[in-house]
Structure 1
Amino acid sequence: MASMKIVQLLFFALFVACMANGVNQQRICMQLEDIHNEEVQSWIGRTRNPYSSRPGKRGAKGDVGPAGLKGSSGEVDYRRINRAIQENVEIECNKVNTGLVGRINKMEEMIRKMNRTVSDPHRQLKLQGLCPVQYLGHCFWSVVHSSKDINVDEAKRICGVNNGLPANVYNEQHLNDLMADIRRKISADTFIWTGMQVDISTNAVLMRDGTRASYVKWWTGGFPNAGESGLYIHVQTDPSSSRQGMGNDPPTSKFHGVICEK
């Protein structure tokens, strides 16, 4: 302890002398002061642990410590948030509206194309070859088999496949056009069902809706047969033959085919 005091006094005396000798010697004094400090620290270390040596180089930097406590929340600007939300909503709504307008325009264009394509309500039937005869804005086509296997119920089913019904005959020209279409499909005389019928109580020929037919042409004498309600057309391969036209038979009778109307 006494030696420490002596060292301190010695350094103090040197320091006072340095300060008295001017600026040039201040650097020496500062160096002496640094040495003094080092000696003091060394003495303190030896006093605490007489076996310890000078501290070595500083070690590597340690890991980052845990995060501090979260600070208090600040004030929320709800007006600014509401404005931002409203702006985003308007932007998204505009996007949706733009998309909807685009889709609507495409749909309208598709409808216009469809209208141009089917401006004639029977265009699709024509494309399918189901409208070889036209009258009063209706399509007429015939289905003909080589054998007699079609009764009235089967005739209705066949026409219904293409959303049609067994046909009416409206006048002489219409009948001739229907027989001409059938004649292209046959090689012998043929019997074809229509949608007309005979009233068995009055023998009146009726249209499909029950109204009286304005035109009737029997293919031979003796018609109509009493008690037989189904009306058919008898067609010869020879267009000049007089033995062709209408006849009546029971609806359960089986013929070669049917004339359809839509």
Structure 2
Amino acid sequence: MDFVKIILFISLIYGLYAKQKLPAGACVSKIVNGKLVQVGDCEKNDGSDIVRLIKKSRDEKIKAETKCDVTYKKKCYRAVVYEVQNVTVNDIEAICKSKNGKPANIYDLKHYQLLLPYLRSLMPAGQTWIEICTGMEYKNNHLLLSDVRPITIATEVWYPNYPRSTASLTNVGVRIAEDPESAYQGMFDHPPSLSFQGVICEI
């Protein structure tokens, strides 16, 4: 009998404690295992809680997807890197669009030096180098931004013996070596048919 009284007493205390935690009129809604769970005074049953939770979830997802991995001159950069070379120039627009961006430009030596350690950090295990697409082109001995404006960039940015003036080498990629001190890394012009491990996007 005493045992039953103790259990009832504990239940009463727990109930009072739970009531104190939620102020009168409060309704707490959560999505648990795909179902709406409500605790408290939840008389409103017009679906607005579900809409609010879905919107919050969507906003958090968008925020995570548009997070800047590198910021330069108020522009945001994120790269998509795969373990295999399966990305061509024809793919990069769609890949970057899925990240709410476009294939990126590299604007100057400082920008290039900022991107290198970041791109190196994305290198799949066991690989000693990766090649990444940009949104830039090299035509008629001019480096062009994605909006076709010509720019001049420091020679240190280019891979040794690049750029080349061969007419078919119209697109620009970046080769990143695992060793930061390697001389064999930098931007290079290439044919559109070449496959890469990813793309750097400007968001």
Q: TM-score range by the shorter chain?
A: 0.5 to 0.7
| Cα 1:164/1:222, change in 2 over 3 Å | closer
Q: Distance in 2 between matches of 1:136 and 1:128?
A: 20
CA contact (8 A) 2:82 2:198 kept: yes
Decide which of 153, 163, 181 is 1:215's aligned counterpart.
153
Q: Distance in 1 between matches of 2:131 and 2:112?
A: 14
State the 1:191 CA deviation: 0.6
**Secondary structure class of the residue paired with 1:240:** coil
Structure 1 residues not aligned, in runs of 5+: 1-113, 119-123
Amino acid at match of 1:204: H
Q: Give the structure with the higher percent helix.
A: 1
State the 1:223 CA deviation: 2.5
State the 1:224 CA deviation: 2.0
Q: Give the structure with the higher percent strand.
A: 2
Q: Distance in 2 between matches of 1:150 and 1:194?
A: 11
Amino acid at match of 2:198: G
Q: Distance in 1 between matches of 2:183 and 2:98?
A: 34
Decide which of 135, 140, 151 is 1:195's aligned counterpart.
135
Q: Distance in 2 between matches of 1:254 and 1:210?
A: 22
**Secondary structure class of the residue paired with 1:208:** coil
- Aligned pair count reads 140
Matching residue of 1:152: 89
Superposed, 1:41-52 pairs within 5 Å as none
| Cα 1:167/1:156, change in 2 over 3 Å | same
1:242 to 2:180 alignment: no
Q: Which has the larger radius of gyration?
A: 1
Name the TM-score, length of structure 2 as normaliser.
0.63
| Cα 1:147/1:214, change in 2 over 3 Å | same
Name the TM-score, length of structure 1 as normaliser.
0.50
